[in-house]
Amino acid sequence: MRRFALILLLVLTTATVACQPRPPRVDVTPPPMPDAASGTWWNDRVFYEVFVRSFQDSDADGIGDLAGLIERLDYLNDGDPRTDDDLGVTGLWLMPVAESPSYHGYDVVDYMAVEQDYGDAATFRRLMEEAHARGMVVIVDLVINHTSNQHPWFQEAAAGPDAVRRDWYVWSGEHLTYRGPWGEQVWYKRGDAYYYAVFVESMPDLNYRTPAVSDAIYEVSRFWLEEMGVDGYRMDAIRHLIEDGQQQENTPETHAWLQAWHDYYKGIRPQAMTVGEVWTRSEDVVPYVGDEMDICFEFDLASAILDGARGGTTGVVDSIAQKVEMLYPPGQYATFLTNHDQERVMTQLRGDEAKAKTAAAVYLTLPGVPFLYYGEEIGMSGAKPDERIRAPMQWSGEDQAGFSTVTPWEGLQADYATRNVEAQRADDGSLLRRYIRLIRLRSAYEALRTGSLIAVQTGNVHVYAYVRHSEAEDVLVVHNLGADPASEYTLNVRASPLAPGRYRVREMLAGVRGIAPLTVGAQGAIEGYVPLETLAAGESLVLVLR
């Protein structure tokens, strides 16, 4: 009898497992490497932000380096679209890799030298070759608003009023007392004069009213494109380039300088891309896109997505997403959840992995060009100060998290033993597996990469839905942002580009079964559609319409 019971239990368990949904196979065609005829090639890619110091230490000094990053490239993209244990990203953004006296690199002392802690020029070029061989493009941080106060240019400028490079920085003979954009001190004494630094004393602003400064930065831009082979730049703090007295951001002179620089670097390599950091409201970001930057980061949308995941309601994220889509040229903005200056997603969501999965599903299925901060795909935590949100990558539960064989430059997060790549790779229900699946879906479906956004009314404040439409296909995305199951909802669209008719519907994210067919009426209308009787708490559906 006991043996019969054990056999019955085994049969029932096997049947239960067999009935669980499995994600359907997704065939991914890697995007071609960009050339002069590629147009907006960045829309076909998903980028990954890497802090080299914290990614992988190859030489046992506790500091991540370029050789270590090369060792880990197969995790990011192994070059084989048939595999599904790599993350599948197709672009890398490297935080500053130029020589700097600080750990973060945003105060440069030599624009045309690789940071010694990271390696040398030969290793950087090898990284470019290895990344390109796997189908990944690489962009680097270009920090041109300011230098380090240890940069030779500033050391010369600070020698006195008659110094050769005095006018390479912004000086005042009197102590000006007005504050900066965030109420911070911006004037600092050096000798008998004061210099301007919008961020901190150790980062004096360059003076772009001096033609020689522009010439020098043009040469830096050419060097990294031509001699180091990068595919473009993430442009740091560009709204602060040129001040006009107390107007310290978004000045007409800043826009004019960026337009001229855009023409210059596009003349060197037409397919090179730029993504700008303009950390302000969307309306003030849009003027930078087009003839200045190719795309810019969308901070309002990032906040709205996290607010929706945190609060469980659609209002803010729905309205901001629609506004953003109307403001920009189609899809020409960069989406993200957090970056190296913000508390990590898992910390903001108070450790709620279900909400982190929802946030990932929203931003990786909306229009734009996605950027993923390293470690967010495994739910790394991190609160200020900045060093703690830039802590070493958690590869495994072994000593030093697989990042190094010695004590890292910055301490590991406390949960590294359980929240790491190795553990999550083996767990089909993990956050990492969710990211891998979403990135593969985005890479596989043109509608998710470049399709327009069609808002869908749901009649439920917790259910967020939209259609991504392209000439090739249509994808309907539905999210239950709430903490409870949702059964009282219907999907409605008054008019859309969808052709009238009856559609077969297949769920591609988790392989959910039992999805109802969809009937589209005249003028592309959708009325009262319920794809699934009940949406589980935090559930996301990616529905491909046939």
Residue ranges of the chain whose pLDDT lies below 70: 1-21
What are residue 295's DSSP bridge partners?
Answer: 275
- The predicted pLDDT at position 20 comes to 56
Closest residue by Cα to residue 92 from 31, 48, 127, 56: 48
CA dihedral of 232, 235, 241, 247, whole degrees rounded to 10: 140
* Mode of pairing for the β-strands spanning 193-196 and 232-235: unpaired
Residues with Cβ within 8 Å of 180's Cβ and at least 6 positions away in sequence, in order, are: 186, 198, 248
DSSP string, 94-147: EPP-EE-SSSS--S-SEEEEE-TTT--HHHHHHHHHHHHHTT-EEEEEE--SB-
431-444 vs 353-363: helix crossing angle, rounded to 10:
10
Q: Which two tokens stand for residue 70?
A: 């090369």
Q: CA angle, 198 as apex, 339 and 238 as ends, to 5°?
A: 55
What are residue 503's DSSP bridge partners?
Answer: 518
Closest residue by Cα to residue 441 from 513, 511, 525: 511
Catalytic residues: 236, 277
What are residue 370's DSSP bridge partners?
Answer: 335
Q: How much is the pTM? A: 0.95
Tens of pLDDT, residues 120-157: 999 999 999 999 999 999 999 999 999 999 999 999 99
The one-letter amino acid code at 447 reads: A
